[in-house]
Structure 1
Amino acid sequence: MRLWSLDPRYLDSKGIVALWREALLAQKVLAGQTKGYRNHPQLIRFRGTADPPGSIAEYLSVVCDEADRRGYRFDRTKILPDRLGVKINVTEGQVAYEMEHLKKKLKARDPSALEKILSLEIPPVHPLFTVVPGDVEDWEIT
């Protein structure tokens, strides 16, 4: 499971579809609707909010907005309705780590998408996140 801190506009088509599926699974986990994946490290930052299910719903909403912009048909009714508008901190080191990880993925599966991000020194993050100083997050599996 990879819940990217990066803005979803930088993901290729396979990446955004995978993100949608994985974030929907995360929403089920955070809402207590499944027994699997409960201890997945990618969920730690959402659990640290006042409203974990609402936080992942907000995350999903932005992913769905990007899918809409691309002309994809993601089912927005799968997103939980209640949201508090919570922001989550993400470290500069985490953002840099994810950018390098994404570059490796795009090099293998979508070189044209890779070209679009090569010039980004500081990549924009998903609007749910606020970038703060720090190294790669402790929960990240490197």
Structure 2
Amino acid sequence: MRLWSVHPSILDRMALVACWREALLAQNVLAGATRGYTRHPQLERFRACAEPLDAVGHYLTSLRLEADARGYSFDASRIRRGDAANPGIPVTSGQLAFELSHLRAKVTRRDPAWLAQLPDTARPGPTFVETPGGIEAWERGTPVA
């Protein structure tokens, strides 16, 4: 499961679609509607919020808005709390840099034309607020050199 912290505008098509599916799964996990992935480390930051379903609802809404801007059709009715307020989840600058590097490696293999869309420095997605620091403790990915 990869719930990207970087702004969804830099995600290539495959990353955006996969993130939508995985965030819907995360929503079900947080709602207690599934038995799988209940201990997935990427969910820690949503669980730390006062209202985890609101937090993931805001996250899903930001993905849907990006999809709409690109002419894709993500079903808004699948978001349990689509009108949730921004939870302002902290994400470190080191995590954003890690994710940008990870995305760059993926895009290089599957959609080299998208590389031009990738910035030198990633800004956080609408659900997140950047803070100083290294890679987040919940990150289980292998740093890309």
Q: Same fold (TM over 0.5)?
A: yes
Q: Which residue of 2 aligns with 1:104?
A: 105
Partner of 2:96: 95
Find the counterpart in structure 1 of residue 25 from structure 2: 25
Please give the secondary structure, in 1, of the residue aligned with 2:94. Answer: helix
Letter in 2 for 1:135: G
5+ residue gaps, structure 1, are none
Please name the residue that 1:68 is paired with: 68
Unpaired segments of 5 or more residues in structure 2?
none
1:94-133 alignment runs, 5 A limit: 94-117=95-118, 120-133=119-132
Taking structure 2 as the reference length, the TM-score comes to 0.93
Report if aligned partners of 1:51, 1:84 keep a CA contact under 8 Å in 2.
no
Count of aligned residue pairs for this structure pair: 140
What secondary structure is seen at the aligned counterpart in 2 of 1:37?
coil
Q: Give the Å deviation of 1:68.
A: 0.5
Query: What secondary structure sits across from 1:124 in the alignment?
Result: coil
Shift of 1:75: 0.4
Does structure 2 retain, via aligned residues, the 8 Å contact 1:26–1:43? yes
How far apart are residue 84 of structure 1 and its match?
3.8
Taking structure 1 as the reference length, the TM-score comes to 0.95
